[in-house]
Amino acid sequence: MRYSLLSALVVTSVIVPAAHAGIVITEVMSSSGTGGTPDWFEVTNDGSSAVSLTGWKMDDGSFNIAAAVALSGITSLGAGESAIFIESTAGAGVASFRTFWGGLTNVQVGYYSGGGVGFSSGGDGVGVFNNLNALVNKVSFGAATGGSSFFWGWDSMGAIDPNYSGVVSTVGTIGTQVGFVSADALGNIGSLGTAILVPGPGVAAIAALALAIRTRRRA
């Protein structure tokens, strides 16, 4: 009987969907901090291989490819890597943005610009599109808290984990996120590949079953 239970466990684990992999949005600033930092958002590659960002675009809360603008300055995002895109015409603000946030060593910073893609501090959203114009990932957010960013974690099924979403006001206040703070502003930026991924419900159920089997055997 024990063999049958363990066999069922193995078979069940085979049919659990593969872990979510790809580009996800992990942080957004919709209300600039002290010093006039622009709107920006962070994307993280939670997959196991690099992803080309050539030809990718973004739009605000309308999530409309017809209104989307190009993401520039970053051609590829490695497995587990996070990068920042700021609203800046021709990338003119990238250098000052890096300086404001303490240099952002080893963090890629790209840029975008265009009409109607600025984030409203009263509530908005951001979506990213791949080179085939498919919407890859999107988030929505409410009214901003001055000097703070919004942060999201994603589970292995590709859904937002409610335990890791909200407003970040200081470094490292949510999960394992690592951040940088400028000398004169609250905020959090650059998770450096520490995006939070938690097991999906199917995986969690299997783990619970395995624990129950081990407990019965000990008894």
**CATH number for the domain that contains residue 86:** 2.60.40.1260
Same-domain pairing of 118 and 67: yes
Distance CA 54, CA 68 (A): 14
Per DSSP, 34 falls in state T
Categorize the per-residue pLDDT at 190 as very low, low, confident or very high, splitting at 50, 70 and 90: low
CB atoms within 10 A of CB 164: 20
| Max CA distance (Å), the chain | 68
Say whether pLDDT at 3 is over 60: no
**Structure tokens belonging to residue 72:** 């520039």
Domain that holds residue 160: 20-196
State phi, psi for 216 to the nearest 5 degrees.
-65, -40
Q: What is the pLDDT of residue 175?
A: 55
Please determine, for residue 19, whether its predicted confidence score (pLDDT) is greater than 50: no
DSSP 8-state assignment for residue 37: P
Q: Clarify whether residues 159 and 214 are in a common domain.
A: no
Return the percentage of the chain with pLDDT > 90, whole number.
Answer: 40
- Number of domains the chain contains: 2
Say if CB 102 and CB 182 are below 8 A apart.
Answer: yes
pLDDT band of residue 23 (cuts 50, 70, 90) is very high
Q: Are residues 69 and 176 in the same domain?
A: yes
pLDDT at residue 138 is higher than 70: yes
Query: In the predicted model, what is the mean pLDDT of the chain?
Result: 75
167 pLDDT tier (thresholds 50, 70, 90): confident
Q: Are residues 156 and 56 in the same domain?
A: yes
Burial label, 174 (beta-carbon count in 10 A; 0-12, 13-18, 19+):
buried
Mean pLDDT over residues 176-185, rounded? 55
pLDDT at position 105, please? 80
Identify the band that residue 166 occupies on the pLDDT scale cut at 50, 70 and 90: confident
More confident residue, 80 or 127: 127
114 and 214 co-located in one domain: no
Helix (H) or strand (E) holding 77: strand 76-77
- Answer yes or no: do 27 and 119 share one domain: yes
Same domain, 36 and 12: no
List, for residues 63-78, the tens digit of each pLDDT value: 999 999 999 999 999 9
18 falls in which pLDDT band (50, 70, 90)? very low
Both 1 and 43 in one domain: the answer is: no
Same domain, 6 and 66: no
∠ Cα 79 82 83 (to 5°): 125
Asked whether residue 103 falls in the same domain as residue 181, the answer is yes
Q: What's the pLDDT band for 192 if we cut at 50, 70, 90?
A: very low
At 21, is the pLDDT very low, low, confident or very high (cuts 50, 70, 90)?
A: low
Kindly state whether residues 31 and 13 are assigned to the same domain. no
pLDDT value for 117: 95
Q: What is the pLDDT of residue 109?
A: 94
Domain identity same for 95 and 178? yes
C-alpha to C-alpha distance for 115 and 131, rounded to whole angstroms:
20
Lowest model confidence (mean pLDDT) among 31-40, 42-51, 76-85: 31-40
